[in-house]
Amino acid sequence: MRGRCAIGVTLALLFVIGCSASPEPKVTPPPLLTKVRQWQSQGQRLLGQGEWELAKSAFEDARQLAESLDDLPSVVEALNSLGAIAVQERRGEEAVLLHRRALGLAEESRQSPLILQSLTRLGAGLQVVGQSAEAQERYQRASGLARESGDKKQEAIVLNNLGLLELRSGSFDAARGKFEAARALNQALGEKREWSANLLNLGLVVEAQGQLDEAQRHFESALELDKASEHQLAIAGDLAALARVLEKRGNKPAALAYYQRAYWSYRAVEDMVRAREALERAIGLAREFNRRDELAIFERELKAITAQTR
């Protein structure tokens, strides 16, 4: 997940929404269970299209029907999918509750893949609400399960998220090591979205250490990967990160252009909080350079956003 901090500071917190952790059935499932799986698949497709509310509705339908059938694996997956959406929508406390319930049911089912999935999701939720100690505990257990099962994808996710905990605590070398390890795994797996998140986080590490040239290279590489996979929200975050580092390097005209592009991208995915932040930075730079035509346009946009979000 890409969590919110100050303007443009995007932390690439990873999790997998809607991945199936239960084994594929050897026989055709009965009609109602088939319907549950169809709703889960529909939710995943909708997420890929950026249709969050429709995806949420599909996962909620899957959860309710799965509960009526007492199908614990399907209930766990639906709860984890709903919790992951709650993380994206900055409803951290709700996400934690959903993932705690999912973990309890996963442990009741005694299916290691479900437990691993739920531990990773719960760790992400705890990370968002600032409960770093418990998040680290959950991740450490998930890391052990991932290595035991050979699940490299989940192992890379856990490494990335542990790296974010190290980054927040100021342990830059430890954070960099975890992000590099996660990147190596994702690169080998061909997981471009996760790989780009690792690059973004590596950029944040070196940016914090004042290595702005290297930070810019990481952010540019992340943007290239995210464009290739058409990961819209990530593209916006990459643009904002580039704008910030360019401004720090003193290239304010280029920073202004990137803030404008970040604004467009955030607006397109209806993340109006970050859109406004990027637009306000663009306004500040346009005013500094006395670029009156652009300033007038930006101020009209800001007025429109303010009216919409009241």
Residue with tokens 């932390």, as numbered in its chain: 11
pLDDT at 276: 95
pLDDT tens per residue across span 198-245: 999 999 999 999 999 999 999 999 999 999 998 888 999 999 999 999
**And the tokens for 204?**
């944040």
DSSP E strand boundaries for 5-102: 10-12
pTM: 0.85
Tokens of 116: 């691993």
Question: Which ranges of the chain have pLDDT less than 70?
Answer: 1-12, 14-28, 50, 310
Closest CA to 162 of 189, 188, 126, 195: 126
Output the average pLDDT for the chain. 90
Instruction: Give pLDDT, residue 14.
Output: 65
Say yes or no: domain 1-150 is CATH 1.25.40.10: yes
Cα–Cα dist 252/179, whole Å: 29
pLDDT of residue 5: 35
What does the domain layout of the chain look like in residue ranges?
A: 1-150, 250-310
pLDDT, residue 26, reads 52
Q: Strand, coil or helix: what is 2?
A: strand
According to the model, what pLDDT value does residue 11 have? 58
Burial per residue of 23-62, b for 16 or more beta-carbon CB atoms within 10 angstroms, e otherwise: eeeeeeeeeebebbbebbebbbebbeeeeeeebbebbbbb
Token readout for 45 is: 């497709």
Token pair for 119: 């531990």
